[in-house]
Amino acid sequence: MTFTIPGFGYQRVAVARDVTLHVAVGGTGRPIVLLHGFPQTHAMWRHVAADLAADHTVIVPDLRGYGASDKPEAVDRDTYSKRTMAADIVALADALGHERFAVAGHDRGALVAIRAGLDHPTRISHLASLDVLPTLDMWDVLHGSTAAVAFHLYLMAQPPGLPEQMISASADAFFGYFLDLWIRDPQAIPARLRAEYLRASREAVASIVADYRASSGIDIEHDRADRAAGNRLAMPVTVVQQDWGAALGFDAAALWRTWADDLDHRATTAGHFMAEEAPEEIIKVLRSLLAR
C-alpha cells in the first residue's frame, strides 16, 4: 500500500496529455509545492508538509516517472527533461487554482524547481533547493577521481538498454545503496518507508534512468542557453547543502550566485536526506524563505 501523509487528501491530476500525477494536498493559505528526490517519493516531505499545512496550502506530488504518478515511455529527449517536468508542476498548480506558488525541491525535485523558476518566473514566488547544484554546474565540478562519488550519474547517462538492464537485475541493492550511503541517521527513514521507496523505485527503473539521462543531455543544453542569455532566478532563493565543496574543490555558494541575485545559501550538518533527518531545520529554513 502506498504511504500517505496523515491529514492530507489525495487525488490524481492530469498535467499533460499522457501524464497524471499522484498528489497529496493539505492545509490552507499561500501555496507551496514540495518536490521529492531520488530514490524517494512524495513521502520524504511528510514531516515538513504536516508543519507547513498549519498555515499554507501544501501540494506534494510524486514527480512524473516516480512513485504512483504516471511513467510515460521516453519517446524523445523531452519526455523527462526538467523543462517538461517543471511544466507538469505549473500545470498542477493551474489545475488546483493557484496562479503563484512557492516551490521547494530536494535532489531531483530541486532540479525541477530550478527549471520551473527559470522557465516560469512570474509563477514562482519563492524557491528552495536542497542539496543539489544546477545541472550545468553539477557536471562541471565532477572530474577526476572525485567523480566516483557520482558514478550513478554516469551509469544512467549511457544510451538506453544497458543501464536499465543492470539496475533492474539488482534494483533493491542499487537503490538501497544510496538510501544507506547518503543518510547519517538511519532511523530517520523507518523500515516500512524504506521498503516503500525500494518498491516504488524498483517499479520505475526505466523512467528514473530516463530522468537522469535527460540531465546529461537536454537539461545541460537548456542551462547553457539560459546562461548565454543571462537568465537568472528572479525570486528569493534559499539553498541548503552539505559541504560538498570541501571534498570536491569548489565554492557552492559562488556557483549559486551566478544563478540567483536574492540568495540565502546555507550549509547543514545533516545528511543528504535532510528533510527526514532534520525536519525542524528545514521547516525553519522554509518558513524564513516564505516570510521574505
**Quick check: helix, strand or coil at residue 34?**
strand
**Phi (first) and psi of residue 7, to 5 degrees:** 85, -5
Task: Report d(CA 245, CA 146) in Å as an integer.
Answer: 11
pLDDT, one tens digit per residue, over 196-205 is 999 999 999 9
Task: Report d(CA 35, CA 45) in Å as an integer.
Answer: 8
Residue 123 has pLDDT above 80, yes or no: yes
Lowest pLDDT segment from 36-50, 182-196, 238-252, 278-292 = 238-252
pLDDT, one tens digit per residue, over 148-158 is 889 999 999 99
pLDDT, one tens digit per residue, over 58-96 is 999 999 999 999 999 999 999 999 999 999 999 999 999
Is 3 part of any domain?
A: no
Question: 248: pLDDT confidence band, cut at 50, 70 and 90?
Answer: confident
pLDDT at position 125: 98
Is 131 part of any domain?
A: yes
Quote the mean pLDDT of the chain. Answer: 96
Question: 3: pLDDT confidence band, cut at 50, 70 and 90?
Answer: confident
pLDDT at position 250: 85
pLDDT at position 243: 85
Over residues 8-27, mean pLDDT:
97
Give the total number of structural domains in the chain: 1
C-alpha pair distances (Å), 85 with each of 63, 132, 145, 149, 230: 7, 17, 32, 26, 22
Listed in order, strand segments (DSSP E) in 19-174 are 19-26, 30-35, 56-61, 101-106, 124-130
Is 223 part of any domain?
A: yes
Is 2 part of any domain?
A: no
Range of the domain at 130: 9-290
Is 49 part of any domain?
A: yes
Residue 290 has pLDDT above 80, yes or no: yes
Q: What percent of the chain has pLDDT above 90? A: 93
Q: What is the CATH number of the domain that holds 52?
A: 3.40.50.1820
Residue 1 has pLDDT above 60, yes or no: no
pTM of the model: 0.97
**Quick check: helix, strand or coil at residue 178?**
helix
Residue 245 has pLDDT above 80, yes or no: no
Is 102 part of any domain?
A: yes
Over residues 250-271, mean pLDDT:
94
Is 4 part of any domain?
A: no
Residue positions annotated with a catalytic role: 107, 272
Is 277 part of any domain?
A: yes
